[in-house]
């Protein structure tokens, strides 16, 4: 599903890359748990996988297509067709109804609309039912719902039209424990049912048990190696200087 | 684009509280711009239509602008007079249809007094060849019985509250309103017998009497002062020869426009005394070039108003952009590209600008319609609540174009942000 090779990414104007990954393979239909502390580059990696950001060096392939090789408009179309995204919070357009929010991917992607059995509206209603949202809530404005309900709407939207890949970026961090477990079970069941690959990102390792595969980004991301606090560049420099003192013959940062 | 348009509309509706103010400020700017432009055009029209239907204005030799100033606008004094013999010679020219003599120099409470013939009321045209009309009473008669009759311009009557039957006295020279009293012709009072309908021209500020009346009140005067010891009673004045010898200027009408340069040359080459004949249209244009600075100031103010409100539009949209970063990220996540995000913002700007501009145009139209009579009465400017002028269309288009451009600036910033934010805006 996803193949990364020799990936390096730095934000414009930044001196050092935030991501440096030699290789990563995610199999079709897998449910992958990606974890690491805040600031280790999780969100950036997801943006690269979703083709929202493009790698400066190396390759990020989705089902065999290299994001960097595509023009921007093609990336937008491909993302709409193949990827369902769930964020930590604020997933919905507050001024649209619950149902219209779920229907958004079908509006931007013909492929997603065509994969909806019985049409996008029927599929959206079915999904909303499956995530446990009452029909009475469907015509409501999205911002009238509780946070937990909003996350379930976001899950339904990500699943609409059965995209091959679902990316979830800490979708449970705003939920309490009981709701979190419900949401996890729901998301995994939905992905299995539609055969979608799931990349689930969290700093909460208690959630990892239900997944096929666990990936630790701090281990994978070579840009962090040799630094305790990846966000703090000063600390990183100090760490590198420390490393140089201890091993003057070695190149700094080399693992 | 259908989906995007619907999202744009719903998103805008969601932020209607803010957008209404942007819309109102654009409407206000548009209304101001259009009204100022209307005012500018109509002031110019009122000005250039102060006299029409007159082919030549004749006076003593001076500058054309100065001749127009005193003969038509009653501003400033004539440097010299012209003799009635000269006028009779001009009248005898075969291309000339009529001559209306004008005698200026006296005033009533600051308003100029014009001595003229009864032909004035028939021949004088203003605006689009409109004739003078009486709103009350009648014109003065050419007989000796009607010697002390006066016809008032509309503004004179309004300001001083005169109706037909009112007795007035004339002052010698142009005394300012409420200023120190000039020598009064108080021995020969006049009776108001008519009031002219409003014209929006200097006629409104003029007191009209007959040429003979001007002669009569000056019978016992020499060089701007009463002759000491000589008193000719009003009634006795009728016994004197009241045919005027000299007047200030004259309006000349021709039988055909083609002869205008011929007659002009005839007047200029007239040997008995130095005369000048000007084409009113040409002279008015020259005069406008002098007094038209106010017009440029109006234009500058209009431009500034437009600039300020468009700057407001950019500021409001930019300020709202941070609130919208999350919204834009959601749209990107469900498949909208940066181009579509840009389109979304530009479309909103265009719609708000268009709605504001239309509202402003409506306000301007209603305003002109409602305030038109008042402006006409108060300032003598005939506001035309008609179809927009070419310049108004141009301004309207400029406001919309500038509004779309102004919306593109924040749109461009949103485009950059949506690229830099990735999936999670760092707000």
CB contact under 8 A, A108 and B334: yes
Dist CA A227 CA A223 (whole Å): 9
Asked whether residue A90 is domain-assigned, the answer is yes
Question: Contact, A82 vs A165, CB < 8 A?
Answer: yes
The domain locations on chain B are 2-47+293-420, 56-278
Q: Is the per-residue pLDDT at A236 higher than 60?
A: no
Report helix, strand and coil shares of chain B as percent, to nearest 5. Answer: 55, 15, 30
- Please check whether residue A255 lies inside any domain of the structure: no
Cβ of A87 within 8 Å of Cβ of B337? The answer is: no
pLDDT score, position A242? 53
Q: What share of chain A in percent tops pLDDT 70?
A: 88
> Among residues of chain B, what percentage have pLDDT more than 70?
91
Inter-chain touch B334–A157, beta carbons under 8 Å? yes
pLDDT surpassing 50 at residue A113: yes
Tens digits of residue pLDDT in B183-219: 778 788 899 999 998 887 888 889 999 998 888 888 8
* Domain range enclosing A197: 2-244
Contact A105 B335 (CB under 8 A): yes
- Both structure tokens of A221: 């991301």
Q: Specify if A116 maps to a domain.
A: yes
Instruction: Look at residue A251 and tell me if it is in a domain.
Output: no
| Residue A182 burial (10 A CB sphere; 0-12, 13-18, 19+) | middle
- Residue A62, in any domain of the structure: yes
CA–chain centroid gap for B125, Å, is 16
Taking CB atoms and an 8 Å cutoff, what residues of chain A touch B337?
Answer: 72-73, 75-77
Does A254 have pLDDT greater than 70? no
From B328's Cα to the closest Cα of chain A, the distance in A is 9
Considering only alpha carbons, which residue of chain B is nearest residue A143? B14
Average pLDDT (A44-65) is 87
- In angstroms, the separation between the Cα of residue B16 and the nearest Cα of chain A is 12
| Predicted pLDDT of residue B224 | 66
Q: What is the pLDDT of residue B421?
A: 62
| B29 has pLDDT over 90 | no
B343: which chain A residues are within 8 Å (Cβ-Cβ)?
A: none
Q: What is the CATH classification number for the domain harbouring A138? A: 3.40.50.300
pLDDT at B418: 65
Give the Cα-Cα-Cα angle A219, A222, A226 (nearest 5 degrees).
90
Domain for residue A254, yes or no? no
Q: Sort out which chain A residues have CB atoms less than 8 A from B327's CB and list them.
A: 93-94
Report the distance separating Cα A150 and Cα A162, nearest Å: 20
Which residue is closest to B424 within chain A, CA to CA? A43
Q: Do residues B399 and B307 lie in contact, with contact meaning Cβ atoms separated by under 8 Å? A: no
What ipTM, to 2 d.p.? 0.77
Asked whether the predicted pLDDT for residue B339 surpasses 90, the reply is no
B337–A73 CB contact, under 8 Å: yes
**A107 part of a folded domain:** yes
Distance from CA of A11 to the nearest CA of B (A): 8
Q: What is the pLDDT of residues B128-157, one digit of tens each?
A: 788 888 988 888 887 877 888 999 998 899
pLDDT at A32: 92
Q: How many domains does chain A have?
A: 1
Contact A90, A38 (CB under 8 A): no
Query: Mind listing the pLDDT tens digit for each residue in A69-83?
Result: 888 888 888 888 999
Whether B426 has a pLDDT exceeding 90, the answer reads no
Q: Is the pLDDT of residue B249 over 90?
A: yes
Which tokens sit at A100?
Answer: 């219209």
Q: Which residue shows structure tokens 């021209």?
A: B201
Residues B276-332 pLDDT 10s: 999 988 888 888 887 778 778 877 887 787 788 777 777 777 777 777 777 887 888
pTM, two decimal places: 0.66
Given an 8 Å threshold on Cβ–Cβ distance, is A47 in contact with B333?
no
The answer to whether A85 contacts B13, with C-beta atoms less than 8 Å apart, is: no
Q: Which residue of chain B has the CA closest to A157?
A: B334
Instruction: Find the mean pLDDT for residues B73-90.
Output: 86
């Amino acid at each position: 599903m996803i193949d990364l090779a020799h990936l390096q990414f730095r934000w414009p104007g930044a001196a050092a890359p935030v991501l440096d990954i030699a290789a990563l393979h995610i199999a079709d239909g897998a449910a992958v748990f990606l974890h690491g502390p805040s600031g280790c580059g999780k969100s950036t990696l997801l943006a690269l996988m979703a083709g929202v950001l493009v790698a400066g060096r190396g390759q990020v392939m989705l089902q065999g297509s290299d994001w960097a090789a595509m023009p921007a408009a093609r990336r937008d179309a491909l993302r709409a067709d193949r990827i369902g995204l769930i964020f930590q919070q604020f997933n919905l357009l507050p001024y649209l109804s619950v149902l219209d929010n779920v229907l958004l991917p079908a509006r931007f992607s013909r492929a997603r609309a065509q994969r909806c059995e019985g049409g996008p509206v029927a599929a959206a209603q079915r999904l909303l039912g499956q995530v446990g949202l009452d029909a009475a809530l469907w015509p409501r404005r999205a911002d009238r719902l509780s946070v937990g309900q909003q996350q379930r709407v976001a899950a339904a939207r990500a699943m609409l039209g059965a995209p091959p890949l679902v990316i979830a970026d800490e979708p449970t961090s705003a939920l309490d424990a009981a709701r979190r477990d419900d949401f996890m079970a729901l998301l995994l069941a939905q992905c299995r049912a539609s055969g979608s690959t799931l990349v689930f990102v969290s700093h909460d390792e208690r959630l990892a048990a239900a997944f096929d595969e666990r990936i630790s980004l701090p281990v994978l991301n070579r840009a962090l190696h040799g630094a305790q606090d990846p966000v703090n560049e000063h600390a990183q420099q100090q760490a590198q200087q420390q490393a140089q003192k201890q091993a003057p013959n070695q190149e700094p940062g080399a693992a | 684009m259908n989906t995007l348009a619907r999202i744009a509309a719903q998103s805008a509706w969601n932020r209607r509280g803010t957008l209404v103010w942007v819309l109102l400020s654009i409407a206000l700017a548009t209304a101001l711009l259009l009204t100022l432009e209307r005012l500018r055009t109509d002031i110019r029209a009122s000005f250039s239509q102060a006299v029409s239907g007159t082919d030549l204005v004749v006076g003593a030799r001076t500058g054309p602008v100065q001749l127009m100033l005193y003969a038509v606008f009653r501003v400033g004094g004539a440097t010299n007079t012209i003799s009635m013999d000269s006028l009779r010679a001009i009248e005898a020219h075969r291309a000339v249809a009529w001559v209306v003599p004008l005698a200026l120099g006296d005033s009533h409470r600051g308003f100029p007094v014009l001595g003229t013939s009864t032909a004035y009321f028939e021949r004088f045209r203003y605006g689009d060849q409109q004739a003078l009309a009486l709103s009350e009473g009648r014109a003065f008669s050419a007989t000796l019985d009607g010697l002390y009759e006066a016809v008032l311009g509309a503004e004179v009557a309004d300001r001083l509250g005169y109706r037909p039957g009112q007795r007035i006295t004339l002052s010698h020279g142009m005394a300012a309103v409420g200023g120190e009293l000039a020598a009064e012709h108080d021995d020969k009072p006049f009776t108001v017998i008519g009031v002219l309908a409003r014209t929006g021209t200097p006629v409104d500020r003029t007191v009209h009497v007959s040429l003979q009346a001007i002669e009569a009140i000056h019978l016992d005067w020499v060089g701007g002062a009463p002759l000491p010891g000589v008193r000719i009673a009003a009634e006795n004045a009728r016994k004197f020869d009241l045919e005027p010898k000299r007047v200030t200027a004259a309006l000349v009408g021709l039988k055909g426009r083609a002869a205008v340069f011929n007659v002009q040359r005839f007047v200029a080459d007239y040997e008995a005394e130095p005369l000048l004949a000007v084409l009113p249209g040409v002279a008015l244009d020259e005069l406008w070039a002098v007094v038209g600075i106010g017009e440029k100031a109006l234009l500058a103010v209009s431009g500034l108003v437009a600039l300020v409100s468009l700057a407001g539009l950019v500021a409001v949209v930019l300020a709202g952009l941070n609130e919208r970063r999350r919204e834009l990220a959601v749209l990107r996540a469900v498949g909208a590209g940066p181009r579509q995000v840009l389109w979304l913002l530009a479309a909103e700007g265009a719609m708000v600008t268009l709605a504001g501009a239309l509202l402003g145009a409506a306000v301007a139209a209603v305003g002109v319609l409602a305030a038109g009579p008042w402006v006409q009465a108060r300032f003598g400017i005939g506001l035309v609540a008609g179809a927009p002028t070419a310049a108004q269309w141009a301004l309207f288009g400029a406001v919309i174009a500038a509004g779309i451009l102004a919306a593109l600036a924040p749109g461009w910033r949103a485009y950059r942000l949506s690229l830099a934010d990735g999936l999670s805006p760092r707000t």
